[in-house]
Amino acid sequence: MKSPGRPVFLERDLYRRRRVIDAAKLLPILGLALFLLPVLTMDLGQPAHVSTSGRLIYFFSVWFFLIAIAFVLSRWLRPEVTARAPETEPRGEAKGPAAPES
Amino acid sequence: MLGFNAIVFIALAYVVMLFAVAFYADRKARRTGGAWLRGPWIYTLSLSVYCTAWTFYGAVGNAARSGLEYLTIYLGPTLVFLGWWWILRKLVRIGRAERITSIADLVSSRYGKSSAVAVLVTILAVVGSTPYISLQLQSVTLSFVVFSGSTDQGQISELLVNDRANVNRIAFWVSVGLAIFTILFGTRNLDTNERHYGVVTAIAVEAVVKLVALIAVGAFVVWGVSGGIPQTLDIIANSPVGEWRPEPSRWIGLTFLSAVAIICLPRMFQVMVVEQSDESHLATASWAFPLYLMAISLFVLPIAAIGLAILPDGANPDLFVLTLPLEMERDWLATLAFLGGFSSATSMVIVAAIALSTMVSNHIVIPLWLASRAGGATVSGDVRSVVLMSRRVSIAAIVALGYIYYRLTDGSTALSAIGLVSFAGVAQVMPALMAALFWRGATRRGAIAGLVTGFAVWAYTLLLPAVGAFSAEMLTFGPAGLEILRPQALFGFTGMDSLVHAIFWSIGLNTLAFLVVSLVTFPSPLERLQGASFVNVFERSGGARGWSGGVAATEDLLVMTQRLLGAKEAQNMFHKAAVEQGKTSGLPDPTPDFVNVLERELAGSVGAATAHAMIGQINGQASVSVQDLLAVADESAQMLEYSSQLEEKSRELEQTARQLRDANEKLTALSVQKDAFLSQISHELRTPMTSIRSFSEFLQEGDMPEKERARYSQIIHNESIRLTRLLDDLLDLTVLENGQVELHIGPATLRELIDRAVAATGAEHLAIDRDPAGEEVVFNTDSDRMTQVFINLISNAAKYCDAEKPRLKIAVQASDHMIEIDFIDNGSGVPKDKESIIFEKFARASDQSAAGSAGLGLAISREILARLGGEIRYIGGRDGAAFRVSIYLEQDSLAAE
C-alpha cells in the first residue's frame, strides 16, 4: 500500500480497482456511523452540557474528511480513467517504475 | 435602502440574464454538441437544485429553532452520493439503457410498463411536490415583501396581514413568470433524450449565485459582524440553540428521509438521471456535490445564531439571510442574498415543473388523448404538437397548483415543515424504486399496493394534519373517537415526534404491503423480463429481447415516428436502420430488433407505456384506450414469451426435419441403388436364360440336322456356363462384401501369380509385355484370390482393348512397403465420365456385353484387394486403360507366416 503510483502489472491494477470499489462501497457506511455517533452515544437521562459549537466543528470535520476520501476514490473510479488504463504498458519497463515518492 | 421597484427591476434583469444563458447554451449545444455543457461541473452544479429556497431561507430558520438538526437534510444526500457505487450508478445506467424520462417512467417500466403504476407515481409526485412549489412561491414573495417596506419586522408582518391582496399579486406574478420561463425552455424541443441544455446551464448559473450569496452573507456575518471565528463560536454557544440537544429519532429519521428524497424527488431524478449525459460525471459528483452541500450549510448556524442575537425578538428566522444584511445596511449584500434566494426558488420550480409535466403529459394526458381518438395514433393528427402542448399545459397547471396551495395555506406554515411533508410524500416511491434496482421478485401488484398504502398513510398522518384539515378533537381522540386511529399516534404508539411517526408508519406499511403482495402474486412475463433487465443492467450487452408478434408495417411506424420525433429525425433514424440492415435505399424491415429500438426511442418522448401501446397498436391491435394499455402491454408480453418459445420449438423441429430429410435421401439413394442392382441382375440373368430357352425349344421341335443340333446344344451349354459364372461372381461378391470370405494367406511369387493368370485367360490375340526382373517379388497373400484379380484385369484388357494390335504392359514397382503393379493397354481407355463408376457392380464402360462379362469383375477385384490389404485404382491420363494394383506389405502379414 506504499505506492499508489503507476502499477507495474496490469493484474495489480485490476486488483487495486476492485479494492477501490470496495472502499467506495464501504465509505457511506463509515459516514453513517460517524454522523450518527454523537446522537447514538448521547446520554438521554442526564443531559451533559455539550456545546453546539463543538458538535458543529465535529460534523464539518467528519464531512470534510469523507469528501476528501471520496475525492481520492473518484479519481480511481472514473470509468474513463479505467478504460484508458490498458493503454499504458502492462509491464512498466519502457516507462520505468513509478517515480519515487516525494 | 433599495425600494420595491428597484428590486423588481433587479429580479427582472436577472431573469433576462438567465434567459440569455439558457438561450446561448441551447444554441451552443445544437451547434457544437455542447461538449463543455455536458461536463461533470455543470452536472454537479445542476444537482444543487436540491438546495431550494427551503435551504436558502428555511435552513437558517430551522437552525434558529432546533440547532444542528438542519444538517440532517444535507447529511442524508451526502451519504447517498458517497455511496454512489451502490445505487446512483445503477439508477443512472438503467435510466440510459431504458431511455427513462421520469421517475414514474422508471418505476412503471420496471413493473411491466404498467400505466397504473405510472399514474400512481405521477399523482404521488404531483401531490408531494405541490406544497414544495408553493413553498418557493412563498419565499420569493416574502423576499419581495421584505424589500417593499422597512426592516422593521412589525411592519412586515403588518404588511403581510393588511395588504394581503398586494402580496398575493406578487405571488401570482411570480408564478406566471416562472411558468413562462419553464415553458419557453423546457418544451422548446421534444428530444428523444429529454435533455434541456439551456435549462440545465441556467440552473448551474443559479447554483453558483445561491452558493456565493449564502457564503457572502455568512462571511459578512462571521467576520463583519461578530469579528471572527472564535467570537462566532462564542455567540453560538450563548444562543438559545447553544446546547447540543438533538432528538435521536428525529435525527435518524430526517437523515433517512433526506437520503431517500435525493433519489426519489422528481426534480432530482430529472437532473441526476434524465439530463445526465455521461456516467463518469457521477464520479466527480460523488465528492463535488457533498462539497457543495457542505459549503452551503457551513454558515447556516452562524447566521442563525447571530440573527437571533442581533435582530429584534419576533423577527422571522426564515428571513435572516435577507434581513441581517438589511439591518446592517449592506444593500448590495441584501440584493445578492435576494438573488440567491430567488435563484434557489426559481431553479426548483423550473426543474420540478419540467419533471412533473413530463410525467403528467406522458402518463396521464397522452394516454387519455389517445383513448379519446377512436382511430388511435395511425390516423390521428400531429402527435408531436399534442405532446408539446400537453407539456405546456401541464407546466402551467403544476405551477398553478402550487399557487393555489399557497393561497389556501395563506403562506402561514414554517418553511422547513412544508419541505419535510413533501419529502415524506415522494419518499413513498422508495420501496418500489429500490426493488426495481435490486429485487427481481417484485411485482406490479406489490408496487401498486405499496404505493397506495404509503400514500394513504402519509396523507392521513402528515399531509392532512399539516394543512389543518383535521380538527384538534380529531387529532386528540381519533376519527369518531377511535383512539387507535389517531393521525399522529397510530395504533396507540404515542410519544413519537409527529414527523418521525409519519415516516415510520407510511414507509413501514408501504414496504410491508409491497413485500407481502409481491411475494404472493405472480408477475406477468413483461414484468419478469423488465425485472431481469433492470437488476442485471450491468451484465447486459445488447437488447436481446425480441418483438416477434405481428408484422408491423414500416410505413405506419414511420408515419407515427415522424409525428413524435419530427420528420427529419424520424427519417434519419429509419434510414440508419435500413443501412444497418444492409439496404441501400428504402425503408428498413420491421425486424424485432428494429421495432425494439424504435420503441425505446419513442419511450424517450412519450414514456415507455405509451410507446409500447402505440407500437402494439400498429402491430395489429385495433384500438387503444387507457384501460387497454395494461392489457396491451400484458398481451404483447405474453406474445413475446410464447413466440420466443415457439421460435425455439420451430428451430428444433426444423433441425429434426432436416435430419429426417437427409436420412430419407440416403435411404432413397440406397433403394435406388438396390433397385438398379436387382434390375441389372435380372437383366443379366434373363439374357442367357432367354437364349437357353429358345434354343432348347428349337431342339424340342426335333427334326433338324445333326449339325444344327450340335450347334444349338453348344450354345445352350455356353450360356449355362455364363450363367453359372455370373451366379458364382454374384455369390463371390456377396461373400466378399459381407466379409465372410476365407483367405488362405501364404507366400507367393508375383511372377507365378501373373503366369497363372495369363495362362488362365488364354487370350492369344493379346500381346503382353512383362517385367521379369520386377516380378521376382515374394509376398504374403492369398494366391488364388490375387490371381483372380489379375485374370480380371488381363481379360478386361483382352475384351475391351480396341487397338488394332492389342498390347498389355504389366509393370512392377516394389519397395519395402508396397508393390505396385500397373496394367496398361494401348486401347482408347475408359471415357473420362465413366472413370468413377467402373468399379461399381454391373458397370461397363461400353456396351460390349457380348464379351461375356456381367460387369462384376472390377467390383470383385476391388473387394478382394480390400480384404488382402491393398487397392485398385484406375489411372487416368494415359494413352490406354491403366489400372494400378497396390499391395501394402505389412509387418503383420509377414509375422502371420
pLDDT in tens, B495-513: 777 888 889 999 999 999 9
H or E, element range at B812:
strand B807-814
- The reply to whether residue A24 touches residue B84, judged by beta carbons under 8 angstroms, is yes
Min Cα separation B889/chain A (Å): 59
Give the pLDDT of residue A85.
33
Count how many pairs of residues, chain A against chain B, have C-beta atoms within 8 Å.
Answer: 109
Nearest to B125 by CA among B411, B359, B414: B359
Residues of B in contact with A42 (CB under 8 A): 246, 248
Inform me whether the C-beta atom of residue B251 falls under 8 Å from chain A C-beta atoms: yes
* Position B61 confidence tier, pLDDT thresholds 50, 70, 90: confident
Nearest to B398 by CA among B354, B451, B348: B354
Min Cα separation B499/chain A (Å): 18
Contact status, residue B865 vs residue B884, Cβ threshold 8 Å: no
Give the pLDDT of residue B633.
47
Helices (H), B762-841: 783-800
* CA-to-CA dists, residue B376 to B211, B387, B566, B598, B615, angstroms: 49, 14, 18, 18, 11
Q: How far apart (Å, rounded) are the C-alpha atoms in residues A3 and B253?
A: 41
Nearest CA in chain A to B256: A32
**Best A20, A32, A34 residue to mutate vs chain B (most B CBs within 10 Å):** A32
Q: How far apart (Å, rounded) are the C-alpha atoms in residues B114 and B96?
A: 19
* CA-to-CA dists, residue B797 to B801, B834, B835, B871, B883, angstroms: 5, 16, 15, 19, 10
| Strand-strand pairing, B807-814 and B767-769 | parallel
The neighbour count for residue B703, using CB atoms within 10 Å, is 5
- The reply to whether residue B244 touches residue A51, judged by beta carbons under 8 angstroms, is yes
pLDDT in tens, B433-466: 999 888 888 889 999 999 999 999 998 888 888 7
Q: Give the list of residues 6+ apart from residue B623 with CB closer than 8 angstroms, or none.
A: B374, B375, B376, B617
Nearest CA in chain A to B250: A39
Nearest CA in chain B to A58: B68
Mean pLDDT of chain A: 68
Inform me whether the C-beta atom of residue A102 falls under 8 Å from chain B C-beta atoms: no
H or E, element range at B824:
strand B818-825
Percentage of residues in chain B having pLDDT higher than 90? 9
Q: Which amino acid is at B318?
A: D
Inform me whether the C-beta atom of residue A92 falls under 8 Å from chain B C-beta atoms: no
Q: How far apart (Å, rounded) are the C-alpha atoms in residues B200 and B185?
A: 10
Min Cα separation A5/chain B (Å): 20
Nearest CA in chain A to B292: A67
Burial class for B45, CB neighbours closer than 10 Å (0-12, 13-18, 19+):
buried
Residues of B in contact with A73 (CB under 8 A): 286-287
Give the pLDDT of residue B548.
33
Q: Which amino acid is at B181?
A: F
Res. A2: pLDDT tops 50: no
Phi then psi for A78, rounded to 5 degrees? -55, 120
Inform me whether the C-beta atom of residue A21 falls under 8 Å from chain B C-beta atoms: yes
Q: Which amino acid is at B896?
A: A
Residues of A in contact with B259 (CB under 8 A): none
Contact status, residue B63 vs residue B145, Cβ threshold 8 Å: no
* Position B857 confidence tier, pLDDT thresholds 50, 70, 90: confident
Residues of B in contact with A75 (CB under 8 A): 283
- ipTM score: 0.74
Burial class for B707, CB neighbours closer than 10 Å (0-12, 13-18, 19+):
exposed
- The reply to whether residue A60 touches residue B236, judged by beta carbons under 8 angstroms, is no
Give the pLDDT of residue B547.
37
Inform me whether the C-beta atom of residue B294 falls under 8 Å from chain A C-beta atoms: yes
Q: How far apart (Å, rounded) are the C-alpha atoms in residues B444 and B116?
A: 9
Min Cα separation B658/chain A (Å): 47
- The reply to whether residue A80 touches residue B280, judged by beta carbons under 8 angstroms, is yes
pLDDT in tens, B508-551: 999 999 999 999 988 877 777 778 778 877 765 433 333 333 34
Cα angle at B284 between B278 and B288, to 5 degrees? Answer: 135
* DSSP 8-state secondary structure symbol assigned to residue A51: B
Res. A102: pLDDT tops 70: no
Residues B783-807 have a mean pLDDT of: 84
Inform me whether the C-beta atom of residue B301 falls under 8 Å from chain A C-beta atoms: yes
The number of C-alpha atoms within 13 Å of B104 and in the hemisphere containing its C-beta is 28
Min Cα separation B69/chain A (Å): 11
Q: What share of chain A is helix, strand, coil (3-state, %, to 5)?
A: 65, 0, 35
Q: Which amino acid is at B588?
A: P
* CA-to-CA dists, residue B493 to B256, B428, B463, B509, B658, angstroms: 21, 21, 19, 15, 73
Residues of A in contact with B86 (CB under 8 A): 25, 28
Min Cα separation B71/chain A (Å): 9
Contacts of range A58-62, beta carbons closer than 8 Å, 24 or more positions apart: A59/A35, A59/B68, A59/B71, A59/B75, A60/B294, A60/B298, A62/A31, A62/A34, A62/A35
Nearest to B131 by CA among B421, B536, B546: B421
Residues B181-210 have a mean pLDDT of: 78
Res. B660: pLDDT tops 80: yes
Min Cα separation A95/chain B (Å): 27
The neighbour count for residue B516, using CB atoms within 10 Å, is 13
- The reply to whether residue A52 touches residue B75, judged by beta carbons under 8 angstroms, is no
Helices (H), B239-375: 248-264, 266-269, 281-298, 300-310, 320-327, 331-360, 366-372
- The reply to whether residue A24 touches residue B280, judged by beta carbons under 8 angstroms, is no
Whose grid coordinates read 436481446?
A: B544
- The reply to whether residue A35 touches residue B255, judged by beta carbons under 8 angstroms, is yes
Burial class for B42, CB neighbours closer than 10 Å (0-12, 13-18, 19+):
buried
Torsion over CA: B224, B229, B235, B240 (sign):
positive
Whose grid coordinates read 446522537?
A: A39
Q: Give the list of residues 6+ apart from residue B545 with CB closer than 8 angstroms, or none.
A: B529, B533, B596, B640
H or E, element range at B162:
helix B153-162
Res. B382: pLDDT tops 80: no
Give the pLDDT of residue B678.
76
pLDDT in tens, B477-496: 767 767 777 777 777 777 77
**Best B75, B234, B247 residue to mutate vs chain A (most A CBs within 10 Å):** B75
Return the domain boundaries, chain A: 10-44+52-86
The C-alpha cell at B721 is 456356363
**Domains located in chain B, CATH noted:** 4-442 (1.20.1730.10), 541-624 (no CATH), 647-736 (1.10.287.130), 743-895 (3.30.565.10)
- The reply to whether residue B237 touches residue A40, judged by beta carbons under 8 angstroms, is no
Give the pLDDT of residue A68.
92
* Position B212 confidence tier, pLDDT thresholds 50, 70, 90: very high
Min Cα separation B399/chain A (Å): 36
Residues B831-848 have a mean pLDDT of: 67
**Best B82, B90, B260 residue to mutate vs chain A (most A CBs within 10 Å):** B82
Give the pLDDT of residue A81.
38
Nearest CA in chain A to B231: A53
Q: Give the list of residues 6+ apart from residue B794 with CB closer than 8 angstroms, or none.
A: B757, B758, B761, B763, B766, B768, B808, B823
Res. B388: pLDDT tops 70: yes
Residues B391-413 have a mean pLDDT of: 82
Residues of B in contact with A47 (CB under 8 A): 243, 245
Nearest CA in chain B to A82: B280
DSSP states along B213-275: HHHHHHHIIIIIII-SHHHHHHHHHHSTT-B----HHHHHHHHHHHHHHHHH-HHHHIIIIIS
Q: Which residues of B296-328 are buried (b: 16+ CB within 10 A; e: fewer)?
A: bbbbbbbbbbbbbebbeeebbbbbbbbbbbbbb
The C-alpha cell at B716 is 445352350
**Best B93, B232, B234, B287 residue to mutate vs chain A (most A CBs within 10 Å):** B287
- The reply to whether residue B68 touches residue A27, judged by beta carbons under 8 angstroms, is no
Q: Which residue among A21, A47, A73 sits closest to B245, beta carbon to beta carbon? A: A47
Residues of B in contact with A51 (CB under 8 A): 236-237, 242-244
Beta-bridge partners for B582: none
Give the pLDDT of residue B400.
92
DSSP states along B571-611: HHHHHHHHHHTT-SSSPPP--HHHHHHHHHHHHHHH-HHHH
**Best B244, B284, B294, B438 residue to mutate vs chain A (most A CBs within 10 Å):** B244
Q: 30-89 in A: which are within 8 Å (CB) of B?
A: 31-32, 35-36, 38-40, 42, 44, 47, 49-56, 59-60, 63-64, 66-68, 70-71, 73-75, 77-80
Give the pLDDT of residue B854.
56
Burial class for B235, CB neighbours closer than 10 Å (0-12, 13-18, 19+):
buried
- The reply to whether residue A39 touches residue B233, judged by beta carbons under 8 angstroms, is no
Min Cα separation B65/chain A (Å): 13
Prediction pTM value: 0.64
Q: Which of A77-81, B211-215, B530-534, B893-897 has the highest mean pLDDT?
A: B211-215
Chain Cα centroid distance, residue B370: 27
Give the pLDDT of residue B618.
63
Beta-bridge partners for B749: B778
Q: Which residue among B71, B245, B280 sits closest to A78, beta carbon to beta carbon? A: B280
Contact status, residue B858 vs residue B885, Cβ threshold 8 Å: no
Contact status, residue B366 vs residue B95, Cβ threshold 8 Å: no
* Position B156 confidence tier, pLDDT thresholds 50, 70, 90: low
User: What is the 3-state secondary structure of A64-90?
Assistant: HHHHHHHHHHHHHHCHHHHHHHHHCCC
More confident residue, B832 or B311: B311
Q: Which of B510-524, B662-676, B698-712, B844-858 has the highest mean pLDDT?
A: B510-524
Q: Which amino acid is at B105?
A: D
Burial class for B191, CB neighbours closer than 10 Å (0-12, 13-18, 19+):
middle
